[in-house]
Amino acid sequence: MSATLISHAPADEFRLPDGPKSPKLVNGLLALFAQRRFVRRLQGRYGDAYTVDLPVIGTTVIVTHPDLVKAVYTAKPTVLHGGKNPLGGLLGPGSLFSMDEERHLQERRTLLPPFHGDRMRSYDELIEEEALNAMQAWPEGEPFATIDTFKRVTLRVILRAVFGAEGTELTELEELLPRLTAVGQRLVTAPILRRDFGSWSPGRRYRRMRRRYNEIATALIEERLTDPGLSERIDILALMLARLLQDGAEINRAEVADELLTLLVAGHETTASSLAWTVERLRRHPEVLRRLEREVEGDDSTLRTATILEVHRVRPVIGTTGRMVMQPFQLGDWCLPPGTRVVTQASAVHADDRFHPNAASFDPDRYVGHKPDTYSWIPFGGGVRRCLGAAFAQLEMDVVLRTMLRHFELMPADAPGERESFRGVAFAPARGGVAVVRRRGTPIGSAASEHIGQSRPADKEVVV
Ligand code: HEM
């Protein structure tokens, strides 16, 4: 099926939800600068679905009810496309964000097995090692923003676990990619900058860095393809290539490089921001923090898992997911014409008392012994485009949080919660998830002491 918009229904059958009649530009400015408040106001006025006209994006239907979210996430891939994600244009044709329908499903079939939940455990030690190294530099007794540490950890973890990079390649990618993605984010928000306005213009700089990235990524791919031990490797690139070879597919190096960059862009800042929110929330909920510290003394992780799920609910770092209607789409009582965008608003669904009793309170216990509901807990989106790295992110957050709790005492905060601020890819705490910590004389928990070469404390006492 081509990407052309196809309409099989006569125009008078189409019906859009009601919405504000304000001019595009006003809606655009409100959506940009007061997104959450704008959405709350519209939801209060129009209910669980409403239509907004937005600059560049066009007619957009926003849904805030799990039944409507379900309709979006279960629609056929020929009816709803990925929403012409602007990231796709920048990442290249080999990026999942650029693909739809059969090509997209085929690419997910290649990528899903390496990202399977059970496989993830093999990265536990690597994540712990990176977290410990990065936390070494934490100052004691004075406030600092944790997001910088978490960005460093999530970048290095993806480079090692996904790209399989080590040595000079790791060092160079670690230096290059934050610059490349920072410029890339500017090009996504202002596409005019993609043009080449001279040697120091963002467009030229992006192309230069992208060329260098492609050279390094191609070298890594070549190394894997000639590695006789490919089948023993555990990095995601090796698993992906092994799968392509097994399927007899031709390996397009440039497209594999696009996909690796996609995984990095999608997984680095999102996970780091969620970790910063975890610190921000826990400092304001010392009773949960104390229970987590007790839990980390043993091998149980029930409360930690529930805490992470609850952080995603109260502070989803990606507030919305978008789709583009390609064929008439029945959404509840409405029928949307091709060319309409549909947006699911996770932040509104998550904050709604109808679907999450006492939604404003941070209460990890709601997920102790209960799995989150597929359509009212949607921090990772849903359906055929659900986040590919959700299990990876869950493991990474779990190990980083566990490592932090074992090695540091996190001081509670009296200050009001941090506001959120959009940082190009994700919503992060405005002050970067400020922490004040004290290093523990003896780390708590069994595995912690084994990994950093100390003897295990006899009585597992929490030393502060
Ligand atoms: C807390 C961390 C993360 C959050 C909150 C998050 C959230 C999301 C969301 C909301 C989407 C859009 C889903 C949709 O449209 O229905 C998405 C897509 C995606 N994510 Fe994540 N993500 C996270 C971490 C990761 C990681 C660690 C990776 C990989 C290493 C990753 C890879 C992807 C990819 C490849 C897609 C595109 C899927 C597709 O279009 O088929 N994400 N993510």
Mind listing the pLDDT tens digit for each residue in 181-203? Answer: 889 888 877 777 878 888 888 89
What average pLDDT score do residues 449-455 get?
Answer: 41
Domain count, the chain: 1
For residue 2, name the pLDDT band (cuts at 50, 70, 90): very low
Which pLDDT score is estimated for 423?
Answer: 78
Q: How far is CA 70 from CA 48, 323, 378, in A?
A: 13, 13, 10
92 in a domain, yes or no? yes
402 in a domain, yes or no? yes
Å from CA of 279 to ligand 1 middle: 21
What CATH number does the domain containing 306 carry? 1.10.630.10
Question: How does pLDDT run across 121-151, given as a tens digit for each residue?
Answer: 899 999 999 999 999 999 999 999 999 999 9
Ligand 1: which of 387, 397, 423 to mutate, most ligand atoms within 8 Å of CB?
Answer: 387
Q: What is the pTM of this model?
A: 0.93
Domain limits for position 288: 11-451
Nearest CA to ligand 1 atom 21: 387
Strands (E), 371-432: 408-410, 420-422, 427-429
Q: From the alpha carbon of 162, which atom of ligand 1 is closest?
A: 30
Å from CA of 270 to ligand 1 middle: 8
For residue 5, name the pLDDT band (cuts at 50, 70, 90): very low
Å from CA of 461 to ligand 1 middle: 39
Q: From the alpha carbon of 108, which atom of ligand 1 is closest?
A: 41
Question: At a CB cut-off of 8 Å and minimum separation 6, what does 400 contact?
Answer: 127, 131, 150, 153, 275
5 in a domain, yes or no? no
Which pLDDT score is estimated for 424?
Answer: 76
Residues within a 6 A CB radius of ligand 1: 82, 96-97, 108, 158, 162, 262-263, 266-267, 270-271, 274, 317-318, 321, 379-382, 385-389, 392-393
1 in a domain, yes or no? no
346 in a domain, yes or no? yes
Q: From the alpha carbon of 99, which atom of ligand 1 is closest?
A: 40
Nearest CA to ligand 1 atom 27: 267
Question: At a CB cut-off of 8 Å and minimum separation 6, what does 35 contact?
Answer: 319
3 in a domain, yes or no? no
For residue 29, name the pLDDT band (cuts at 50, 70, 90): confident
Q: What share of the chain is helix, strand, coil (3-state, %, to 5)?
A: 55, 10, 35
Mode of pairing for the β-strands spanning 434-435 and 341-345: unpaired
461 in a domain, yes or no? no
pLDDT for 3 beyond 60: no
Q: From the alpha carbon of 392, which atom of ligand 1 is closest?
A: 27
Ligand 1: which of 380, 385, 422 to mutate, most ligand atoms within 8 Å of CB?
Answer: 380
Which pLDDT score is estimated for 34?
Answer: 73
124 in a domain, yes or no? yes
Q: How far is CA 9 from CA 14, 72, 95, 335, 424, in A?
A: 8, 19, 32, 9, 38
Q: How far is CA 60 from CA 18, 40, 133, in A?
A: 11, 16, 45
Which pLDDT score is estimated for 12?
Answer: 66
Mean pLDDT, the chain, rounded, equals 90
